[in-house]
Amino acid sequence: MKRIRILALIPILAITGLVNQVEAYEQSFEIPVQNNKPITKSVARKINNEKKARIKIEIKKPQLVKINNNPADARKESDRKKLVTNGFKDDYYDTYIKAADAYSLDWRILAAVHKIESGQRGDTLVKSCKGATGPMQFMPSTFRAYAVDGNNDGVANINSVEDSIFTASHYLSRNNATNNIDQALYRYNHSTKYVNQVKSLIYSIK
């Protein structure tokens, strides 16, 4: 009497609290055959017995989730969510933070100025009728006076988002934005309406 080895994959449902997905186990058993045909009753009995005696189930351990207890990191994550909620480009969040930290400035000032100056496009290269250009709409002469290489590529480029944001941080800091935001913003763009627009955006994400 010959014996045939059979492999069967039987799906099992995930066990709540232990696994997060449907798992599968391999069941291995042997059944007797005569003339290459299984004996029906014996097959049924054998399968039933083997399920009870030899079945193996593997359960994956649940993955541990690391909880960040650093208040500063939690605050930054909260700021990031507010940034997205208020329509700012999350792509430039890290640049705002780095540029603001470099000149002891509130990063929200840079985010607000960037949004207005770029027309909410972020990386605009549009040139104004007055000659201002780049993501932060600098006059070329002003950019040259305060230029900062924000992305460390060896060149301060008026059309680079990183360079322009760092340069704006430098400019606003030199114009006392920390202590007199109205004055600094007015020097950036000689318009009371502009000053109020920027301040409104700043307050919306605080």
Cα distance between residue 166 and residue 105, in whole Å: 11
Number of compact structural domains in the chain: 2
Query: Are 28 and 77 in the same domain?
Result: no
Last residue of a domain, one of 54, 79, 95: 54
Query: Are 19 and 110 in the same domain?
Result: no
Query: Are 23 and 107 in the same domain?
Result: no
Domain membership flag for residue 95: yes
More confident residue, 62 or 190: 190
pLDDT at 131: 81
For residue 26, give its domain range. Answer: 2-54
Query: Are 104 and 168 in the same domain?
Result: yes
- Of the ranges 50-59, 60-69, 104-113, 150-159, which one carries the lowest mean pLDDT score? 60-69
Cα distance between residue 54 and residue 30, in whole Å: 11
pLDDT at 30: 44
Give the model confidence (pLDDT) of 102-149 as tens digits. Answer: 999 999 999 999 989 887 554 555 555 568 899 999 999 999 999 999
Range 162-183 average pLDDT: 96
Instruction: Determine whether 141 is exposed, middle or buried from the number of CB atoms within 10 Å of its CB (0-12, 13-18, 19+).
Output: exposed
Domain membership flag for residue 175: yes
Residue holding tokens 């930290």?
101
Domain membership flag for residue 160: yes
Instruction: Determine whether 128 is exposed, middle or buried from the number of CB atoms within 10 Å of its CB (0-12, 13-18, 19+).
Output: exposed
Predicted model pTM:
0.58
**Beta strands 37-38 and 23-34, pairing class:** antiparallel
- Alpha-carbon dihedral sign for residues 95, 101, 103, 107: positive
Cα distance between residue 168 and residue 99, in whole Å: 9
- The secondary structure of 91-131 as a DSSP string is GGHHHHHHHHHHTT--HHHHHHHHHHHTTT-SS-----TTS
Return mean pLDDT, the chain: 71
Query: Are 90 and 120 in the same domain?
Result: yes
- pLDDT tier at 58, thresholds 50, 70, 90: very low
Domain membership flag for residue 16: yes
CATH classification of the domain holding 181: 1.10.530.10
Query: Are 78 and 45 in the same domain?
Result: no
Domain membership flag for residue 82: yes
- pLDDT tier at 88, thresholds 50, 70, 90: low
Domain membership flag for residue 64: no
Query: Are 20 and 87 in the same domain?
Result: no
pLDDT at 22: 38
Range 174-191 average pLDDT: 95
Cα distance between residue 140 and residue 146, in whole Å: 10
Query: Are 128 and 200 in the same domain?
Result: yes
Query: Are 34 and 79 in the same domain?
Result: no
Query: Are 78 and 169 in the same domain?
Result: yes
pLDDT at 176: 95
Query: Are 36 and 75 in the same domain?
Result: no
Q: Are 179 and 173 in contact (CB under 8 A)?
A: no
Share of the chain above pLDDT 90, in %: 42
Cα distance between residue 118 and residue 125, in whole Å: 8
Radius of gyration of the chain (CA): 33
Range 51-61 average pLDDT: 47
Residue 67 has pLDDT above 80, yes or no: no
Most confidently modeled of 5-9, 50-54, 82-86?
Answer: 50-54
Domain membership flag for residue 66: no
Domain membership flag for residue 61: no
Give the model confidence (pLDDT) of 10-54 as tens digits. Answer: 444 444 444 444 344 444 334 444 444 455 556 556 656 665 555
Query: Are 85 and 141 in the same domain?
Result: yes
